[in-house]
């Protein structure tokens, strides 16, 4: 992304990798973070397609995994036993 921006590329990039959002903070890069908001109802996701400034503030990853039929554990794992008696 840095190489494209430095060469004057114009376009949109979509990603789930939030580390890439930091590129827009670099002074020599002309970039802006924007996001869509989503709504999940009955396991179906819909987007409003309104570009809002900044990085998305909520994660929909688990809901998306459920929507495509993957089993998702939402509880916390128990700490492993230290052994001994």
Q: Is residue 60 part of a domain?
A: yes
Those residues whose C-beta lies under 8 Å from the C-beta of residue 70, and which sit 6 or more positions away, are none
Range of the domain at 10: 1-31
Q: Is residue 58 part of a domain?
A: yes
Confidence (pLDDT) at 15: 83
Provide the domain count of the chain: 2
Tell me the β-bridge partners of 52: 35
Q: Is residue 74 part of a domain?
A: no
Q: Is residue 11 part of a domain?
A: yes
Q: Is residue 44 part of a domain?
A: yes
Statement: residue 69 has pLDDT above 80: yes
- pLDDT tens for 7-57 read 989 998 888 788 888 988 898 888 899 999 888 888 778 889 999 999 988
Domain shared by 60 and 50, yes or no = yes
Domain shared by 25 and 48, yes or no = no
């Amino acid at each position: 992304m840095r190489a494209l921006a430095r060469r004057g590329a114009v376009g949109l990039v979509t990603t789930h990798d939030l580390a890439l959002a930091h590129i827009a903070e670099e002074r020599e890069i002309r970039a802006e973070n924007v996001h869509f908001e989503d709504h999940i109802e009955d396991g179906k996701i819909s987007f409003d397609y309104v570009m809002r400034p900044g990085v998305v503030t909520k994660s929909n990853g688990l809901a998306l995994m459920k929507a495509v039929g993957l089993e998702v554990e939402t509880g916390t794992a128990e700490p492993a036993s230290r052994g001994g008696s």
